[in-house]
Amino acid sequence: MEQNSKEILPARYLNDHIKADTREDGRDFLSFRPVSVNVGSIKNADSSAVCRIGNTGAVCGIKAELGPPHADAPDVGIILPIVELSGLCSQRFRPGLPKEEAMCIAKIVEDILISSKAIDLTDLCIHKGKLVWILNCQIMCTNADGAVVDCCIAALMAALKNLTVQKVEYTPESNEFKTDPVERVSIPLKQMSIRTSFALLKDDLLIADPTSFEEDMATSILSLAYNEKNEIVYLHKPGGDPISDTLLKKAMSKAKSHTEQVRTLISTAQSTVEKK
Amino acid sequence: MSPDECSFRPMACELNYLSNSDGSAFLKQGETVILAGVNGPVQVKQTKSIYNKATVQAVYETKNEKRLAGDEGQLIRLCITKTCESALLTSLHPSTMIQISIEELEDNGSSLACILNSSCLALINSGLAMKYTFAAVCCMIDEESNNIILDPNTLQLKKAKAVFTLVFDSVKKELITCQSSGSFKEEELLTSIKKCREAVHHIFEFYRDIVKQYATAI
């Protein structure tokens, strides 16, 4: 019965919940869904992580390849985030060509990586102008139930924190390189940034960590990413209803405390892997 | 605050530049030049049609091939679509499409702000009903001096610690769209928003002047 009313009268379904001071999954307006992270689950990748935020899930695998750097930046490595929203993660997506939404997410992920200076790209350089590491970060969404980008970022950060690459010996004279199959070097993650989303429902009601149903009903979506120094590295609000400064400040303080929790969670997940 | 204090680069605009569009604007902010055209309401493909409101679609062209082919263009398109959609009364034209075409002729910094301003002028020119008009301001925080610079050019942007593009509505002057790059503190963001909000009324005044020039009957 409840399911029917959600599909037939979504606005009323949402209103009924707001009136009862709750949300469809029983959360408070400004509380987040449980987050879980698992590091190193894919053995074929150089580093990998799985992240879940409520029902939303994302898998990130990083493959490091050797290649020549860009001509205009010869001493830095390359990070290529690729985001895939396949048909299996939500009924909104159909299999086939890359979707506009996936391209936007890939750009947002890239922007956050650059803005937060998550990885010092010079660490990826083996020999200037000749050989650098190219990190292919493939992120796959397994279930899109709101806050997909947050989940992608968390998975990517967890994977980057765990990243090791093969040791390379490069001889500039002969332009040859040799990789060491056993010994691995870790690439340090300088700043771990975590992104949190908020949705603005009608009558200026701010809710944290919206589900996909709430995202559809929202008048506006706001997202913030914080780094370890409590600086904002990304603020994104694409259109929608105007937001007042008070709500923005409220969102900022909530995001900051949640970011701290997720960061501790990822570090804990990381340390359990190291013990093994 | 006077226009000089806000240090906006000189703005110039021509409306009705295109003859086949329902509304068009040719906007110059400093050396950044954007041409915007609006067509609508026009017929929409079945797959994109929304039964209770108009679909807003943005087309963005630039000579910067890297931006056009890459994901960045897609994000700019999203930004234009969502911002215009929030201002337009889309429910007046159900099952139709409003198409906004942007051609970036010259980019010398603050291009996203200029794109959004020109699309707003084109929307005003097209006569489509809107909830409010909007104005975009680009501002950056200098890396060394921590000064806030409004409407920066490419040269200034190279020294930026953080860059924001902020869009305000004309009624309450609240934030519609926000896009940032670089890292910054919360206070820096709030002061930037405050400063941009003070400066934004010059852009609204500029809109008013332009429309007055073309309004011959009144």
Classify residue B93 by its DSSP letter: S
Q: What confidence category does residue B152 fall into, taking pLDDT thresholds of 50, 70 and 90? A: very high
Question: What distances in angstroms separate CA A43 from CA A143, A188, B146, one per listed residue?
Answer: 22, 20, 46
Percent residues over pLDDT 70 in chain B: 97
State the angle between helix axes of A148-161 and A100-115 in degrees (0 to 180), rounded to the nearest 10: 50
Contacts of B184 in chain A (CB under 8 A): 231-232
Phi and psi for A252 in degrees, rounded to 5? -65, -45
Count the alpha carbons within 13 Å of B74 in the hemisphere toward its beta carbon: 14
The pLDDT value recorded for residue B7 is 77
Chain B residue nearest residue A242, CA to CA: B176
CA distance linking residue B218 with residue B210, whole number of Å: 14
Contacts of A237 in chain B (CB under 8 A): 175-179
Q: Say yes or no for a CB contact (<8 Å) between B180 and A235.
A: yes
The predicted-structure confidence for B102-123, as pLDDT tens digits, reads as follows: 999 999 989 999 999 999 999 9
**B186 near A232, Cβ under 8 Å?**
yes
Residue B71 has pLDDT above 70, yes or no: yes
Q: Say yes or no for a CB contact (<8 Å) between A111 and B181.
A: yes
Bridge partners of A80, per DSSP, are A136
The predicted-structure confidence for B125-149, as pLDDT tens digits, reads as follows: 999 999 999 999 999 999 888 889 9
CA distance linking residue B187 with residue B165, whole number of Å: 17
**A270 near A157, Cβ under 8 Å?**
no
The pLDDT value recorded for residue B218 is 64
Start-to-end CA distance of chain A, whole Å, equals 48
Contacts of B198 in chain A (CB under 8 A): none
Classify residue A190 by its DSSP letter: -
Q: Three-state DSSP class for B43?
A: coil
The pLDDT value recorded for residue A236 is 93
Structure tokens that stand for B196 in this block: 């941009």
For residue A243, give the nearest of B70, B85, B174 by CB distance. B174
Length of chain A: 276
The pLDDT value recorded for residue A72 is 87
Q: How far is CA B93 from the centre of its chain?
A: 23
Beta strands at A194-201 and A164-171: parallel, antiparallel or unpaired: unpaired
Q: How far is B185 from chain A (nearest CA, A)?
A: 5
CA distance linking residue A245 with residue A241, whole number of Å: 13
CA distance linking residue A165 with residue A153, whole number of Å: 21
- Amino acid in position B70: G
The pLDDT value recorded for residue B20 is 92
DSSP assignments along B101-116, one per residue: EEEEEE-SS-HHHHHH
**B106 near B89, Cβ under 8 Å?**
no
CA distance linking residue A3 with residue A24, whole number of Å: 11
CA distance linking residue A74 with residue A62, whole number of Å: 22
Consecutive H or E run containing A102: helix A100-115
| CB neighbourhood size of A273 (10 A) | 15
Closest CA to A81 of A51, A53, A114, A50: A114
Q: Which range has the worst mean pLDDT, A82-91, B28-37, B176-185?
A: A82-91
Q: Give the mean pLDDT of B86-96.
A: 94
- List, run by run, the mean pLDDT of 10-residue segments along chain A (276 residues): 75 89 90 93 90 94 92 89 88 76 90 90 88 93 92 94 89 84 87 93 91 92 92 91 92 93 91 73
Structure tokens that stand for A192 in this block: 């771990």
ipTM reported for the complex, 2 dp: 0.88
Closest CA to A234 of B55, B162, B69, B206: B162
CA distance linking residue B167 with residue B173, whole number of Å: 9
Chain B residue nearest residue A220, CA to CA: B176
